[in-house]
Structure 1
Amino acid sequence: MRIAHVSDSHLTNPEGVATSVGTTVALLRAAGHRVVLYRPGPLSRVRRRPGEVPSLSVPTRPYRLALPRPPGAPVDVVHVHTTGPLGVAGLRWAAARGVPTVLTWHTDLVAYAAYYPEIPIGAAYAGLRLGLRWRVRDLWALARPGPGRQARLAALGRTLLAHTTVLIAPSPKTATMMATMAGRTPIVVLPTPAAAPHADADDRRRVRARLGIPADAPVLLAVGRATPEKNPELLLAAFAQVRRVLPTAQLVLLGARRHRLAVRRMAHRYGVGGGLHLLRPAPRHRVGAYYRAADVLAFTSTTDTQGLVLAEAEAYQLPVAMVDTLLAERPGTGTPRPVAEPTGAAFAALLTRLLTEPELRAAVIRDGLAAAADWSAERYLTELATLYASLPPVSPASETGRGWPS
């Protein structure tokens, strides 16, 4: 099968969308499918690899802005992963040619709009390119927090899904969230599987030694951005209360590129600056070492659509503690992960139990391993390939007179 994957996130970006796209493309190629991944690349044509599109780096952001170039070769399916200029170009190109389109909803745009001003700007661009007749008042509403912005983002969501043959939701939470926008577009829940653990028996000892953490100290790990939508303040408030019970406990926050000073200030305000290890993003092949070095993964985000790090941690036999009840169901077995109320006291109590109660810890590790084994890469690939093969034919849209790609 010939498949075009389209993503505004370049593969070297250390975040969930890039990880999910890279995993999916690699599995499809290994199974013999002809896959081209259209993603941001260098401006210079000499340096670009197949599928890369000219792009510019965005100041203060870990991503690149790609030119809206659609796929350039005949394909059987277009699979879009983002709703930036490149993703929108892929949707329009597929609609104009009658190619079935799959859209994976990786990001909660409504929640993220409160933290990232580029999302309303991108929404305005996407709406105009997809035929929404935005007026000045619509653009003004997009620029301001409140129900007006949410209504416009919901309208954009409905328009995006009207250009989509099937929507993939990476969790039941996301499927429920998107149900009101989907209309007649079917939704399939298909989480990205966690990568198999890297074998390295000395990871735990080496990482702890490098960070100056004693071998017997309890270690909490958080993986991902330290930006406000990930709720680092709740994490630090809970950590402060864990330290009252376990004074030698340490917190490793891996992936903090932005807001580092704000996080350090919060840590000092809570009196835990001495136990915090604030680390920048690590290459994907090195993240497993930190899973092995830790005792519990602490996950305080309520804005994630899947939380790929949850399944990754469980594959490394690291128990997970979280506060998002809507994301607690494990892919595969459907067993629930440990969840606390989103308060410092409640989350600290859960973290402390996972650090000090061997029977509870063993049960959580067992359930996590079972889910990781059940929702394997092979199962995911089979279900995705079956979905592609089942896509119905689509009639080409008669939009060439409106500036659609020819």
Structure 2
Amino acid sequence: MRIMIVTDAWRPQVNGVVRTLTETTRELSELGHTVEMITPLDFRTFPCPTYPDIRLSWRPYARVAATLKAFAPDAIHIATEGPLGLAARRWCMANQLRFTTAYHTRFPEYIHARVRLPLSASYAFMRWFHGPSAAVMAPTPSIKSALEGWGFNNVVVWSRGVNTDLFCPGERDRLDDSVPPRFVYIGRVAVEKNIEAFLQLDLPGSKWVVGDGPQMELLKRRYPNVWFAGVYPQAELARFYRAADVFVFPSLTDTFGLVLLEAMACGTPVAAFPVAGPLDVVADSGAGALNQDLRQACLDAMHIDRCHVRRHAERFSWAAATRQFEAHLCPNPPRMSAQLSAA
């Protein structure tokens, strides 16, 4: 099958969406599919307001339409709700083609955290965007239920995986001269990640933040006793996960949290709030501690057996997740693809 994936999130961004699409396209290729992608790398871009590290494509419709027409895909998947996603959606609807979408990120909550726009307004846009989709792929059952509560009626579950060869137990670095136990956060340094809920905690040992984002300089000034390691490529993150005694995940708005799986694959127990994402990934597995009192969750997680944590992570694979994705795709009739390529 010829599959086109359209995404506004792509390299050099380092986030869960990029990681998910990278692993999924690799697995799809191994299954014998021909996969092409439309990403911001092919367009003029401008910085996203309030988050300049994210680049948005400028007036992309003509090139998106030409690329889709030339490739004549059997199945079209629109991964994001940005300019490229909007252009692909418009083209599909103009040509009466079916497509699928994904709900990777809780943008209504993120926008609300930044500019206080009412959630109802943002979710109205999201319902409009995803409404014509043959299937909206949500990462967990709890996110599926949440979307249905907002009026979505075409939601399916597409889970996530972890590379257990890259993220695995091994030598645990000391992380400079920081004092154990070491509590580590890895991810974007942005307001929607609720990092200060972690940094404010009275905990023994030391706290680490690995990543970058618009809140970095503010948090460095506000918490001078925290170790800020900066951003690292994915291949180098495993040493931070291994070195951590506890991986702290303070977010209240993530849809899944791939970093949870990566930490657990390295044998590191998780401390988090009992919200969507941790509830689906950790739940009652015993691989982490979930508590409305995040400090107590951190202290409880310190006593969890790392071998047990690793075994739980091994239940998640990208191969299984990609099979779900493949099953949710909605191919168009062959005659329609042929008509597009001949037009």
Match of 2:14 in 1: 14
Q: Report SS of the residue matched to 2:290.
A: coil
Match of 1:159 in 2: 128
Higher relative CO (CA 8 A, sep ≥ 6), structure 1 or 2? 2
Contact 2:164 2:314 in 1 (8 A): no
Q: CA RMSD in A?
A: 2.8
Q: Does the alignment pair 1:218 with 2:159?
A: no
Aligned residue-pair number: 328
Contact 2:246 2:270 in 1 (8 A): yes
Residue of structure 1 aligned with 2:268, choices 312, 318, 327: 318
Distance 1:349 1:173 in 2: 24
Distance 1:199 1:155 in 2: 38
Q: How has the CA–CA distance of structure 1 residues 331 and 233 changed in structure 2, closer, same or farther, with 3 Å as cutoff? A: closer
Amino acid at match of 1:338: A
Residue of structure 2 aligned with 1:66, choices 42, 57, 72: 57
Greater helix fraction, Structure 1 or Structure 2: 1
Q: How has the CA–CA distance of structure 1 residues 347 and 58 changed in structure 2, closer, same or farther, with 3 Å as cutoff? A: closer
Report matched runs for 1:226-375 at 5 Å: 226-238=189-201, 241-243=202-204, 249-267=205-223, 273-274=224-225, 276-331=226-281, 335=285, 337-341=288-292, 346-355=293-302, 357=303, 361-362=304-305, 366=308, 368-375=309-316
Match of 2:143 in 1: 174
Match of 1:131 in 2: none
Distance 2:95 2:7 in 1: 19
Q: Which of the two has higher C-alpha Rg?
A: 1
Deviations along 1:236-290, one digit per CA (max 9) or x if unpaired, are 122xx212xxxxx1111001332223213432xxxxx33x111222111111111
Distance 1:53 1:163 in 2: 26
Q: How has the CA–CA distance of structure 1 residues 309 and 77 changed in structure 2, closer, same or farther, with 3 Å as cutoff? A: same
Contact 2:208 2:228 in 1 (8 A): yes
Match of 1:55 in 2: 45
Q: Does the alignment pair 1:76 with 2:74?
A: yes
Contact 1:191 1:331 in 2 (8 A): no
Distance 1:199 1:340 in 2: 25
TM-score (norm 1): 0.73
List gaps (5 residues or longer) in structure 1: 42-51, 118-144, 244-248, 268-272, 397-405
Q: How has the CA–CA distance of structure 1 residues 184 and 227 changed in structure 2, closer, same or farther, with 3 Å as cutoff? A: closer
Distance 1:158 1:76 in 2: 25
Deviations along 1:332-387, one digit per CA (max 9) or x if unpaired, are 9974742111xxxx2222212322x3xxx11x751x43342222122112222222
Contact 1:231 1:301 in 2 (8 A): yes
Match of 1:382 in 2: 323
Deviations along 1:202-224, one digit per CA (max 9) or x if unpaired, are 7533xx35x3336xx21111011
Poorly superposed stretches of 4+, deviation over 4 Å: 57-60, 181-184, 199-203, 330-334, 390-394
Q: How has the CA–CA distance of structure 1 residues 332 and 188 changed in structure 2, closer, same or farther, with 3 Å as cutoff? A: farther
Contact 1:233 1:266 in 2 (8 A): no
Identity rate of aligned residues, in percent?
A: 23
Distance 1:195 1:183 in 2: 31
Match of 1:102 in 2: 100
Distance 1:284 1:184 in 2: 35
